[in-house]
Structure 1
Amino acid sequence: MALGARLLLGLALLAALIGVLLQLYRLRKPRLWTPEELSVYNGTDEGLPILLGILGSVFDVTKGRSHYGPGGGYHHFSGRDASRAFVSGNFTGDGLTDSLQGLSSMEVNSIVDWRKLYFDKYIFSGKIVGRYYDSQGNPTKYLKGVEMKAKRGAQLLEKQKSEEDKIPNCNSKWSQAEGGEVWCEAGTGYPRLVRRPGDIALTGKVSQRCACFQEAELGRPGLVVYEGCDYLSTSCKVK
């Protein structure tokens, strides 16, 4: 057999072996962590990876260390499962908990979305035995309930988006010399600030958007007239 053919055969066999090893790696049983074991991997020891948990899944986020210094960008909640903090923004005391009690379905959906992002971005490093996984690594009833609630939240967010799409956004512009202005095209209505409660799930705050409402709709609850703007003006100056 020619040398070139032997080299090609060798490379093919090596590629096949790597594929088998990768498949075995994917199929290996995830490590099961106790909260006490995980707590050591909190970024304070430069010789250890930085691990954090979300909904009972553990991720290696060590690559953030070089950008953020000791502890990386996760020093507030690494070495534990602090799922609630992903929407509450509370990284102290009782805020560092894996309990989602009292959160809305949209907030729970946001945490599930964070978990998906971590699966896509970081190395999955096992499961935490406790609230979300049992001693065999199987999902608990609590985790199944969380995922069902997240699905309801996703449906509500989709419904909100659909409702928003029915109401046109205002046009807007801003310049340093003249400041800002919002306006509605002729026939599309009058500019009003309207709440977007679904944003609580993403930012922890209720945000507002400018939308154009017809005159018959201006009595709807929750609509706010821009300060200093006439009730039926189609354009408003904003700060």
Structure 2
Amino acid sequence: MKANIALMVSVLACIFAYLYDPKTCRSCVRALLKYVNGGYDQNAGSSNVKVFTREELSKYKGEDGGDVYLALLGSVYDVTKGKRHYGPGGGYSFFSGIDGSAAYVTGEFNEKGLVDDISNLSNQEILGLEEWKSFYEKDYKFVGLVEGSFYDKDGGTLDMMKIFNKKLESAKLEKNLIDNDKEKFPPCNSEWSQNKGGRVWCSTKSGGIARDWAGVPRMYFTAGGSKPRCACVRTRGPPSYDMKSQSHKDRGDLDNPNLNLYPNCHADSDSCPLPKS
């Protein structure tokens, strides 16, 4: 949804640019094409961005004092300044000279795992790749594209880039839903000791969520979850699904059907012992 809105805004901006200055319009359209094609111009390889073949890229491993390049999601970065990490004998030398995108998040640093096929990665792993991409764009120099799963020999985007962008949009949406859920039902504090066993409790800052209420611990069952997590639940005010309600029971989210009381714990207690397994 956000991506569609951004695209509409960009199109309108190009229309206004044309009315104002045709030269500005050309720049705007070029930027729009880059957005649609995953961040790069469809014709970038033939104009101002070098497109490496896999064989060419494989020569940049820092051997004999040479430069070190690596590729991530089809983009090539000069990581020579990090040669002690990426060059011969470095802890990440297996990334040099190739696009091993999948391995950045799977940890499979072998021939099978160091590939540019990201189609089977989970949403969480896709977010991890986006973080790696931001890291390289910030700390290293972009020097071109590599012909492979993401771009063709002319720098045009291939289906793998479209798969990545689609997965990334889905991953960000999923993350927003999880973050919103944690705002409504913040994770509990927890501790465990061999003598006393485990316990969970609520405070005005648990699970990294600061708020003006502490709540009480409950077992929170989510759709698709194999087991419940501990959530701190509001005990006053309207329920989260209808915060504007004027005719509520002033019980917060206590009546949510996805919540269960911990065994051997009083309903009003802000601390509960964990059941022994």
Same fold per TM (> 0.5)?
yes
Which secondary structure does the structure 1 equivalent of 2:94 belong to?
coil
1:219/1:166 CA distance change after superposition, 3 Å: closer
2:163 aligns with: 145
Partner of 2:95: 77
Q: How far 1:209 sits from its partner (Å)? A: 7.1
2:221 and 2:88 map into 1 onto residues whose CA distance is 42
| Structure 2 equivalent of residue 212 of structure 1 | 232
Once the two structures are TM-superposed, the CA of residue 126 in structure 1 deviates from its matched residue by: 1.1
Structure 1 residue aligned with 2:111: 93
**Structure 2 counterparts to residues 1-239 of structure 1, below 5 A:** 29-43=48-62, 45-66=63-84, 70-171=88-189, 182-185=200-203, 188-190=215-217, 210-213=230-233, 230=264, 234-236=271-273
- Deviation, 1:96, is 0.8
CA deviation vs aligned residue, 1:99-125 (integer Å, no higher than 9, x gap): 012223443233233212211111112
**Does the 8 A contact of 1:190 with 1:215 survive in 2?**
no
Q: Alignment identity in percent? A: 36
| Native 8 Å contact 1:172 1:180 kept in 2 | yes
Give the Cα–Cα distance (whole angstroms) in 2 for the partners of residues 136 and 69 of structure 1. Answer: 28
Cα distance in 1, alignment partners of residues 199 and 88 from structure 2:
45
Q: CA deviation at 1:164?
A: 0.9
Letter in 2 for 1:188: G
Q: Which residue of 2 aligns with 1:8?
A: none
Aligned equivalents of 2:134, 2:101: Cα separation in 1: 13
The answer (yes or no) to whether the contact 1:182–1:191 under 8 Å persists in 2 is no
Q: CA RMSD in A?
A: 3.9
Unaligned runs of 5+ in 1: 1-26, 198-207
In 1, Cα distance between equivalents of 2:150 and 2:86: 30
Shift of 1:149: 2.1
Deviations 1:20-52 (A, max 9, x none): xxxxxxx98222111112122234x15112211
Local SS of the residue matching 2:55: helix
Tell me the equivalent position of 2:242.
Answer: none
Deviation for aligned residue 1:173: 7.2
AA aligned opposite 2:59:
V
Q: Which has the higher contact order (CA 8 A, sep 6+)?
A: 1
Q: Which moved more, 1:93-102 or 1:34-43?
A: 34-43
Which whole-Å deviations, capped at 9, do the CAs of 1:64-104 have from their partners, x for residues lacking one? 23468744342132211111112211111311110012223
Task: Give 3-state SS (helix, strand or coil) of 1:79's partner.
Answer: coil
In the alignment, is the contact (CA less than 8 A) between 2:54 and 2:146 conserved in 1?
Answer: yes
SS of 1:137's partner is coil
Q: Which residue of 1 aligns with 2:27?
A: none
Q: Count residues with an aligned counterpart.
A: 195
> Does the 8 Å CA contact 1:84/1:95 hold for their aligned counterparts?
yes
Instruction: Report deviation, 1:137.
Output: 1.3
Structure 2 residue runs of 5 or longer lacking an equivalent are 1-43, 204-212, 234-252
Q: For residue 190 of structure 1, what is the amino acid of its counterpart?
A: P
SS in 2 for 1:147: helix
Deviation at 1:187, TM superposition (A): 6.8
Are residues 218 and 170 of structure 1, via their aligned partners in 2, closer, same or farther at CA, if it must alter by over 3 Å?
Answer: farther
Match of 1:93, SS?
coil
CA separation in 1, counterparts of 2:109 and 2:232? 38
Can you list the C-alpha shifts for 1:132-177, whole angstroms capped at 9, x where unaligned?
11111122233123212211211111111111111123245799xx
Contact persistence 2:118–2:160 (CA under 8 A): no
